């Protein structure tokens, strides 16, 4: 199977790239490992997307991004989203996808979130990501030159050096040629050759015990790029969201930062505010998460509360219907009850290094969305910039490909080897081993490479994860291929990358906080 452009992932970044490349006239294959294309990290975004209107100066937004992400922010990237974001949103999300962003009598209603100096966030009630993805999926149905393959999972990126018999490839720059793709329905592996490959595989949250991310967020793109030889950076900067609903049966449910943006505050179980920062509960996420962590350690409690009593002037049920209904399932009426919350892993500020046009260090391999690192987020992402980054870089990738099309589409494909099963591969995956390996990974990452890190914890994480990776590689090569073992292999690799990066960096900054 061949394509001009292969897009791996169907979140906001992948869909934007696929739509724009197809509208530029290229044959696009879009794959997603999910059964339902709507299942992605993007779909779970509650708060919104930064909308720095064209008539608004970009300087204030740039300043807020720099303040949240610190000196590690790449100012060029901040300038790009502040300057170009509004037009991309208007053209794709508003005009084409017709996303029903919430309005008032003056036009689009804008909200404010942590570390923002102005109200500049577009939202659709409290399920913004869901409405955006629905709109993009409805729009993409109209485009004929996109072939969509759901329940198809990339195993590894094809490269000239690793997957051809070209002995001179060692003298060339690394070059992507597509991917080996596993069909989850037929259990067959096919190679998809592509002049351009775009990774938009989303987040890594499932490597942690507590996360806001869905089950598909296993770090696949980062692991594949690492094995192919791409440069991976800033992986120690793991952002933990301060407020997820506490309770074993309520795991992964995010209480949007918009709730605090509207005026809700965090209090301890004695009813007192405890965050010592001039912005209080609206301080940057790393500061709030560390404050909650310290409060829980000192108080020996399992959670703190989010108090909405100060925003009763709002129609809470109308403004936050998703959160209201979800909490009600757990007998919490947010119009009168406190919400028990704890921090959970939310977003990776690091990823596959890309330039301002989404190009990785491997030729023909572009990356967009959370699996990339554009430098926009520095050490700590400013709220509601993740959807913006995905749509802006999805747009920029397609523009670059169109501008330099001869560079990509006039080359002939070399002969790429078919997929070969290596080792025995005659054993079914033992579910007990799989479950134990996942629990070992999640607990190791949460306890040793979590909100607060120390020298001893990181040393133990490196040792344990190195051993675990070795065992899983053997497991992978000697069992029948399945989505479970592919994801586990990817997840442990990403966990080890984070642990190694956290060990090497002794300076606390943003999402990387070391006591020693």
Alpha-carbon dihedral 64, 69, 71, 75, rounded to 10 degrees: -60
Decide the pairing of beta strands 107-108 and 103-104.
antiparallel
Q: What token pair was written down for 207?
A: 């490597």
CB neighbours of residue 303 within 10 Å: 20
Q: Which of 334, 335, 348 is nearest to 255 (CA)?
A: 334
Burial of 147 (0-12, 13-18, 19+ CB in 10 A): middle
Q: Are strands 121-122 and 110-111 parallel, antiparallel or unpaired?
A: antiparallel
Helix (H, G, I), strand (E, B) or coil at 272: coil
CB-count exposure of residue 247 (10 Å: 0-12, 13-18, 19+): middle
Would you call 456 helix, strand, or coil by DSSP?
helix
Angle between helices 12-23 and 386-403 (to 10 degrees): 30
* Inter-CA distances, 262 with 43, 252, 297, 309, Å: 22, 22, 28, 11
Active-site option among 120, 160, 260, 285: 285
Q: Dihedral angle at the C-alpha atoms of 249, 252, 253, 256, nearest 10 degrees?
A: 150
**Active-site residue, 285 included:** yes
Number of H helices and E strands in the chain, helices first, is: 15, 19
- What pairing do the DSSP bridges indicate for beta strands 339-348 and 152-159? unpaired
51 alpha carbon, distance to own chain's centre: 20
Tokens read off for 312 = 């009763």
Catalytic residues: 285
């Amino acid at each position: 199977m061949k394509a001009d452009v292969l897009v791996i992932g169907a979140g906001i970044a992948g869909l934007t790239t696929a739509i724009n490349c197809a509208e530029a006239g290229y044959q696009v294959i879009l794959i997603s490992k999910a059964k339902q294309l709507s299942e992605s990290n993007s779909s779970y975004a509650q708060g919104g997307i930064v909308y720095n209107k064209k008539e608004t100066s970009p300087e204030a937004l740039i300043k807020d991004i720099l303040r949240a992400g610190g000196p590690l922010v790449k100012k060029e990237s901040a300038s790009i989203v502040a300057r170009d974001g509004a037009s991309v949103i208007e053209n794709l999300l508003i005009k084409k996808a017709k996303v029903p962003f919430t309005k008032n009598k003056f036009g689009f209603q804008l909200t404010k979130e942590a570390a923002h100096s102005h109200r500049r966030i577009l939202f659709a009630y409290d399920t913004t990501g869901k409405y955006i993805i629905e709109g993009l999926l409805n729009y993409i149905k109209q485009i004929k030159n996109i072939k969509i393959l759901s329940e198809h999972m990339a195993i590894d990126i094809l490269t000239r050096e690793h997957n051809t018999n070209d002995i001179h490839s060692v003298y060339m720059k690394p070059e992507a040629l597509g991917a080996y793709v596993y069909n989850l329905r037929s259990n067959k592996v096919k190679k998809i050759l592509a002049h351009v490959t775009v990774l938009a595989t989303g987040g890594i949250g499932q490597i942690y015990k507590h996360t806001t991310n869905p089950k598909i967020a296993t770090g696949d793109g980062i692991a594949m790029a690492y094995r192919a030889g791409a440069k991976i950076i800033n992986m120690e900067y793991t952002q933990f969201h301060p407020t997820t609903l506490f309770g074993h049966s309520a795991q992964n449910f995010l209480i949007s930062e918009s709730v605090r943006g509207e005026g809700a505050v965090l209090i301890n179980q004695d009813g007192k505010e405890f965050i010592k920062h001039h912005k209080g509960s609206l301080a940057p996420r790393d500061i709030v998460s560390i404050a909650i962590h310290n409060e829980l350690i000192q108080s020996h409690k399992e959670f703190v509360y989010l108090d909405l009593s100060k925003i009763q002037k709002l129609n809470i049920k109308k403004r936050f219907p998703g959160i209201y209904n979800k909490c009600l399932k757990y007998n919490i009426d947010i119009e009168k009850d406190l919400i028990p919350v704890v921090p959970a892993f939310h977003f990776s500020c690091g990823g596959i290094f890309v330039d301002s046009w989404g190009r990785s260090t491997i030729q023909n391999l572009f990356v967009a969305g959370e699996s990339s690192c554009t430098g926009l987020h520095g050490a700590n992402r400013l709220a509601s910039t993740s959807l913006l980054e995905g749509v802006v870089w999805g747009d920029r990738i397609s523009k670059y490909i169109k501008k330099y099309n001869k560079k990509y589409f006039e080359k002939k494909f070399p002969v790429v080897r078919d997929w070969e099963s290596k080792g025995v591969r005659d054993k079914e995956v033992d579910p007990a081993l799989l479950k134990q390996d996942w629990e070992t990974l999640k607990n190791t990452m949460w306890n040793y490479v979590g909100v607060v890190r120390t020298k001893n914890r990181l040393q133990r994480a490196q040792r344990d994860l190195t051993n675990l990776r070795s065992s899983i590689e053997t497991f992978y090569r000697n069992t029948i291929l399945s989505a479970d073992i592919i994801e586990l292999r990817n997840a442990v690799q990403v966990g080890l990358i984070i642990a190694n990066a956290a060990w090497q960096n002794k300076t606390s900054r943003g999402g990387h906080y070391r006591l020693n």
